C-alpha cells in the first residue's frame, strides 16, 4: 500500500518536473529544432544526475536548474546555449558528471561556461574567503564569455528568492554576500531589475524590521500614489497621442533598499523621500529616430511641467559604460513635488532592464560594447598582478562597480570615461602606466593643477611628467580607480622588496654574529616575536631601522635555534558579564551566562544591547566581538570573513544595563531640552552617561548616551521622546562607548 503511494508521489513529481520544463521551453525565443533537441538533452542529463538530490525545502533539486534557466531566458533574454548551461550549472560540482562528459555531449563552448560556473573545490588557508576566490574565478571568465557571470547572477537570484528554507545564520551570510558582491556586479552589467531585486531580497534578511516597515508604508500609500500618477501623466499622454507617437508610460516605484538608502543618506523619514517613483516614457521608434524623438518628447513634457536645470541627464549622447541609454529630467508637479521623468526607446528600455545580455540582440550598438570591452581589459589587468590575493581583488573590483562616470578629453580631443571623483592621477594611469608613474601634475583647461585635483565632466587634461618622479604611499589617497591603485601598489611593492633585500642581508649578518641559523623556523619565530604578518615586512622594517635587533639577546638560543620564553600568565580583567558559554549543539555563544571563560566584548561600532539580533566575530587579538545584525560592518564581516562569524544570542533573564546612543532632532522650542532630560531622569529611571544639544537656525539636535536594560526599554524611551512637541525624529546610533 505504502509502496503504491510512493510510486504515485514519484509519478506526480515527474509530471510536475516535466510541466516546469515545458514552462521553460515556452520562454526560450528564436530556437530551431536543433536547439530544442540540445536543451532537451541537457534537461535529461540534469534530471538523471540530480535524481537523488533534494533542496532544503524538500522539493526535487532539478527545480533549481530549471528555475535558473527560466530566469536566463525570460528575464535576461539569453539564448539556447545559456539555457543548456543553466540546466547543467551544478552537475560538475555536485554529481558524477565531469567537464569531459559535458564537452563530449555539448561541445567546448558549453564546457568553458560550465567550468566558469563551477565553484573551487580546494580548501584555502583560513585568511582567505573561499567565496571571494569563487567570485574572482567567475569574474576571470567575463572576457571568455559574459554568459558565465549572467548565469551565476540568475543562480544567485533564484537562491535568494528561495532563501526562506535556510537556517537564519545561513540566511544572514548569503544575504550579506549578495549585497556585498552580486548586487554591485548586476549593476555594473546593466541588469537593473536584477540588482534592485537582489538588494531588496538581501535587506529582507539583513534588516527585516526596516524592510517590513517600508513595505507596509508603500502598500498603504499605493492608492494615493496611483491617483497622483494618473493625473500627472494625463496631459502628456494626450499630447504624445496627438503628435502620433506609439508609446508606453510606466510608473516605476523605487526599490525598498534604495528608499532606505535615501532615508539614511539624506537623514529623512519615509514621508520626506520625494522621489518614491519615476515616470518612464518608452517610445516605439526606429533606431535612426531615437535621439530626435526622445528630445522632442522631453520638449513636450517640459511644456506642461517646469524642469530643474541641475537634474537633466543625457545618457543618449554619451551612454554609460554598462550600455545604459536614457534621457532623465526632474520636473515640478502642480502639487509642488519633484518628479523624475525618464525618456527612452524600446531598445534602450530592454538594455536598461536586461543589461549587456540584451546586446546579443542589438549588435548595431557598438559604443557601449567598446566601453564594456575596455572595462573587461582593466579587470584582466587587475588580475594579472602576481601579488594580488582574492580579498584585495574584491576590494579593488568593487571600487569601480557602483561609480557614476565622468567624461574627460585628452589634448587631442579623445574621450575617456572615468568614475566620478577621479583625479589627475587616475587619468594619468588611464592613459598609460608609465605616464602615471612619472606624473607631477597637469593642465586642466589650460590651468595648472596638482595630482589630487578632482576632475569634472568635460575637462580637457594635459598630463605633465618628469623622469625624476616616482610613486609614493601618499598617492593611494589621491586615486579612486582600481587600475591606478593597483599600479601604484605594484610600484611601491617593487621598491619595498628592494629595501627588504637590504634588511635580509642585515639580519643574516646579525644571525652569524650570534651563531643563529638563518632558516624559515627562526624567521617565523621573529615574525611572531615582533608581531609582523610576513618575512618581507620584517626585513623591510629592519632595513628602515624600525626593529631593534639588540632584543635578539632576550630570546633563548639553543644550538642556533631561537625559542620564545614562555609568556607569564596575565590575569584576566574580565567583568562578570564578560563570561559566557558556547552552546556546542548549535555553536552559539550565549551572552550573559556564568559558565566558561570565553572572553567577548560588545563592539563599539554598533553598541549591541539585550534584545538586538546579534552575532559574534572572532578577532585575532581581542577575543570575540559582539555586533548587531544591522551593524554597518555586518555585511563586510559576513561576506569576507564568514568563517570567523558565530551565532550569538542573549540569555533570557537577569540582564544588565547596557549603553545606547540616541539622536533627537526637531524644531527648537522653549523648554524642549528640560522636557527631554526630565523624561530621562524621572519617567524612566534611566541613567544618563552624556548629553549635548546644538541649535542651528531654529533646528536643534540632541545627542545622548543612556543606560538601558534591553531594546524594549530603549524603544519605550524613544517613543516618549517622539511625543514631545517639536521633536521631528528620534534615531538610535551606533556610538563608541566612553
pLDDT tens digits along 471-491? 887 888 888 888 888 888 888
Among 364, 383, 415, give the residue marking a domain's end: 364
| 234 shares its domain with 341 | yes
The pLDDT, as a whole number, for residue 233 is 92
Q: How far apart are CA 613 and CA 317, in angstroms?
A: 48
Among 342, 364, 386, give the residue marking a domain's end: 364
Q: Where are the beta strands (DSSP E) in 288-437?
A: 306-307, 313-314, 327-332, 338-345, 405-409, 415-419
Q: Does residue 338 fall inside a structural domain?
A: yes
Q: Does residue 266 fall inside a structural domain?
A: yes
The band of 244, judged by pLDDT with boundaries at 50, 70 and 90, is very high
Contacts of 86 (CB under 8 A, 6+ apart): 65, 68, 69, 71, 72, 78, 151, 154, 155
Q: Does residue 314 fall inside a structural domain?
A: yes
Among 623, 650, 677, give the residue marking a domain's end: 650
| 291 shares its domain with 349 | yes
Start-to-end C-alpha separation, the chain: 70
The band of 421, judged by pLDDT with boundaries at 50, 70 and 90, is confident
| 319 shares its domain with 258 | yes
The pLDDT, as a whole number, for residue 298 is 94
φ and ψ at residue 348, rounded to 5 degrees: -60, -40
Residues of the chain with pLDDT > 70: what percent?
A: 80
pLDDT over 50 (residue 365): no
The band of 126, judged by pLDDT with boundaries at 50, 70 and 90, is very low
Q: How far apart are CA 326 and CA 321, in angstroms?
A: 13
Q: Does residue 141 fall inside a structural domain?
A: no
Cα dihedral 310, 314, 315, 317 in deg (nearest 10):
-150
| 253 shares its domain with 285 | yes
> Could you read off the pLDDT of 178-229 as tens digits, one per residue?
887 788 778 777 788 888 999 999 999 988 889 999 999 888 888 888 899 9
Q: Please, what is the angle between helix 208-220 and helix 222-243, to 10°? A: 60
| 340 shares its domain with 358 | yes
| 257 shares its domain with 349 | yes
| 677 shares its domain with 554 | no
Over range 714-737, report the average pLDDT: 78
| 644 shares its domain with 669 | no
Q: Does residue 369 fall inside a structural domain?
A: no
pLDDT over 70 (residue 629): yes
Residue 94 annotated as catalytic: yes
Q: Are 541 and 531 in contact (CB under 8 A)?
A: no
| 360 shares its domain with 220 | yes
The band of 171, judged by pLDDT with boundaries at 50, 70 and 90, is confident
The pLDDT, as a whole number, for residue 123 is 36
Q: How far apart are CA 269 and CA 556, in angstroms?
A: 64
The most confident of 278-287, 461-470, 542-551, 593-602, by mean pLDDT = 278-287
Residue 281 C-alpha cell reads as 516614457
> Could you read off the pLDDT of 511-544 as tens digits, one per residue?
888 788 888 888 888 888 877 878 888 888 888 7
Which of 55-64, 264-273, 498-507 has the weakest average pLDDT? Answer: 264-273
Q: Are 67 and 90 in contact (CB under 8 A)?
A: no
The 10 Å CB-count burial string (b at 16+, else e) for 513-549 is eeebeeeeebbeebeebeebeebbbbbbbbbeeebeb
The pLDDT, as a whole number, for residue 363 is 43
Q: How many CB atoms lie within 10 A of CB 295?
A: 14
Q: Does residue 723 fall inside a structural domain?
A: yes
Please tell me the total count of domains within the chain: 4
Angstrom CA distances, 283 to 244, 290, 314, 326, 356, stand at 11, 8, 16, 11, 21
Bridging pattern class, strands 658-667 and 687-696: unpaired
Question: Closest Cα to residue 191, out of 86, 82, 91, 77?
Answer: 77
| 359 shares its domain with 220 | yes
The CATH number of the domain where 704 resides is what?
3.30.70.260
The band of 573, judged by pLDDT with boundaries at 50, 70 and 90, is very low
Which one is catalytic: 35, 74, 94, 462?
94
Q: Does residue 332 fall inside a structural domain?
A: yes
Please tell me what DSSP assigns to residue 655. Answer: P
| 358 shares its domain with 336 | yes
> Could you read off the pLDDT of 693-717 as tens digits, one per residue?
887 767 788 888 887 767 777 888 8
| 636 shares its domain with 696 | no
Bridging pattern class, strands 405-409 and 624-628: unpaired
> Could you read off the pLDDT of 15-31 as tens digits, one per residue?
888 898 888 888 887 78
Residue 127 C-alpha cell reads as 585568511
Please, which contacts does 397-400 make with residues 24 or more away whose CB atoms are closer than 8 Å? Answer: 397/139, 397/482, 398/180, 398/181, 398/184, 399/480, 399/481, 399/482, 399/485, 400/188, 400/375, 400/481, 400/482
The CATH number of the domain where 253 resides is what?
3.30.460.10
SS3 389: coil
The pLDDT, as a whole number, for residue 551 is 73
Which one is catalytic: 7, 11, 93, 687?
93
Task: Report the mean per-residue pLDDT for the chain.
Answer: 79
Q: Does residue 412 fall inside a structural domain?
A: no
Expressed as residue numbers, the domain containing 603 is 576-650
pLDDT over 90 (residue 92): no
The pLDDT, as a whole number, for residue 467 is 86
Q: How far apart are CA 408 and CA 292, in angstroms?
A: 25
Amino acid at each position: 500500500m505504502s509502496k503504491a503511494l510512493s510510486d504515485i508521489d514519484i509519478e506526480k513529481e515527474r509530471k510536475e518536473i516535466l510541466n516546469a520544463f515545458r514552462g521553460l521551453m515556452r520562454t526560450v525565443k528564436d530556437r530551431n529544432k536543433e536547439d530544442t533537441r540540445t536543451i532537451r538533452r541537457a534537461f535529461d542529463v540534469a534530471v538523471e544526475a540530480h535524481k537523488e538530490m533534494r533542496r532544503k525545502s524538500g522539493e526535487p533539486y532539478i527545480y533549481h536548474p530549471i528555475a535558473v534557466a527560466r530566469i536566463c531566458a525570460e528575464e535576461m533574454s539569453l539564448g539556447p546555449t545559456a539555457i543548456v548551461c543553466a540546466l547543467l550549472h551544478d552537475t560538475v560540482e555536485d554529481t558524477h558528471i565531469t567537464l569531459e562528459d559535458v564537452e563530449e555531449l555539448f561541445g567546448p563552448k558549453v564546457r568553458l561556461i560550465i567550468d566558469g560556473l563551477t565553484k573551487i573545490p580546494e580548501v584555502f588557508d583560513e585568511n582567505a574567503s573561499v567565496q571571494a576566490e569563487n567570485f574572482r574565478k567567475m569574474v576571470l571568465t567575463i572576457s571568455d564569455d559574459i554568459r558565465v557571470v549572467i548565469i551565476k547572477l540568475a543562480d544567485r537570484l533564484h537562491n535568494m528568492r528561495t532563501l526562506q528554507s535556510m537556517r537564519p545564520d545561513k540566511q544572514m551570510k548569503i544575504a550579506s554576500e549578495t549585497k556585498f558582491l552580486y548586487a554591485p556586479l548586476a549593476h555594473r552589467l546593466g541588469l537593473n531589475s536584477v540588482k534592485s531585486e537582489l538588494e531588496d531580497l538581501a535587506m529582507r534578511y539583513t534588516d527585516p524590521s526596516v524592510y517590513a516597515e517600508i513595505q507596509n508604508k508603500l502598500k498603504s500609500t499605493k492608492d494615493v500614489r496611483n491617483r497622483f500618477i494618473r493625473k500627472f501623466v494625463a496631459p502628456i499622454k494626450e499630447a504624445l497621442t496627438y503628435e502620433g507617437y506609439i508609446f508606453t508610460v510606466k510608473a516605476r516605484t523605487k526599490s525598498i533598499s534604495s528608499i532606505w538608502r535615501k532615508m539614511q543618506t539624506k537623514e529623512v523619514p519615509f514621508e520626506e523621500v520625494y522621489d518614491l517613483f519615476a515616470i518612464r516614457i518608452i517610445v516605439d521608434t526606429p533606431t535612426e529616430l531615437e535621439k530626435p524623438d526622445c528630445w522632442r518628447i522631453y520638449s513636450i513634457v517640459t511644456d506642461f511641467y517646469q524642469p530643474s536645470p541641475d537634474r537633466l541627464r543625457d545618457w543618449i549622447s554619451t551612454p554609460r559604460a554598462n550600455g545604459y541609454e536614457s534621457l532623465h529630467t526632474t520636473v515640478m508637479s502642480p502639487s509642488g513635488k519633484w518628479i523624475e521623468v525618464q525618456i527612452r526607446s524600446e531598445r534602450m528600455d530592454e538594455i536598461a532592464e536586461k543589461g549587456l545580455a540584451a546586446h546579443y540582440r542589438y549588435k548595431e550598438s557598438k559604443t557601449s560594447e567598446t566601453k564594456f570591452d575596455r572595462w573587461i581589459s582593466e579587470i584582466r589587468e587587475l588580475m594579472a598582478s602576481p601579488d594580488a590575493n582574492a580579498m584585495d581583488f574584491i576590494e579593488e573590483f568593487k571600487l569601480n562597480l557602483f561609480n557614476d562616470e565622468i567624461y574627460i578629453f585628452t589634448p587631442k580631443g579623445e574621450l575617456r570615461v572615468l568614475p566620478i571623483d577621479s583625479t589627475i592621477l587616475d587619468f594619468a594611469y588611464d592613459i598609460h602606466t608609465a605616464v602615471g608613474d612619472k606624473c607631477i601634475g597637469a593642465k586642466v583647461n589650460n590651468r595648472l593643477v596638482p595630482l589630487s585635483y578632482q576632475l569634472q565632466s568635460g575637462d580637457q587634461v594635459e598630463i605633465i611628467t618628469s623622469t625624476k618622479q616616482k610613486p609614493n604611499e601618499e598617492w593611494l589617497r589621491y586615486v579612486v580607480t582600481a587600475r591606478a591603485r593597483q599600479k601604484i601598489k605594484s610600484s611601491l611593492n617593487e621598491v619595498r622588496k628592494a629595501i627588504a633585500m637590504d634588511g635580509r642581508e642585515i639580519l643574516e649578518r646579525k644571525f652569524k654574529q650570534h651563531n643563529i641559523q638563518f632558516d624559515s623556523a627562526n624567521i617565523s619565530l621573529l615574525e611572531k616575536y615582533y608581531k609582523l604578518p610576513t618575512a618581507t615586512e620584517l626585513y623591510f622594517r629592519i632595513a628602515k631601522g624600525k626593529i631593534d635587533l639588540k632584543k635578539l639577546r632576550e630570546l633563548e638560543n639553543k644550538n642556533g635555534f631561537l625559542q620564545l620564553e614562555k609568556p607569564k600568565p596575565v590575569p584576566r580583567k574580565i567583568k562578570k558579564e564578560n563570561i559566557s558559554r558556547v552552546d556546542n549543539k548549535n555553536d552559539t555563544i550565549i551572552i550573559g551566562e556564568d559558565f566558561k571563560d570565553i572572553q567577548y566584548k560588545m563592539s563599539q561600532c554598533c553598541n549591541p544591547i539585550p534584545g538586538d539580533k546579534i552575532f559574534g566575530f572572532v578577532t585575532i587579538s581581542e577575543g570575540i566581538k559582539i555586533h548587531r545584525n544591522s551593524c554597518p560592518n555586518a555585511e563586510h564581516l559576513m561576506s569576507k570573513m564568514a568563517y570567523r562569524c558565530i551565532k550569538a544570542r542573549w540569555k533570557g533573564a537577569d540582564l544588565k544595563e547596557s549603553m545606547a546612543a540616541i539622536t533627537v532632532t526637531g524644531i527648537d522650542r522653549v523648554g524642549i531640552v528640560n522636557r527631554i532630560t526630565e523624561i530621562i531622569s524621572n519617567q524612566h529611571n534611566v541613567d544618563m552617561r552624556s548629553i549635548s544639544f546644538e541649535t542651528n537656525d531654529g533646528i536643534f539636535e540632541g545627542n545622548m548616551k543612556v543606560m538601558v536594560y534591553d531594546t524594549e526599554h530603549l524603544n519605550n524611551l524613544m517613543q516618549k521622546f517622539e511625543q514631545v512637541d517639536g521633536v521631528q525624529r528620534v534615531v538610535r546610533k551606533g556610538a563608541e562607548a566612553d
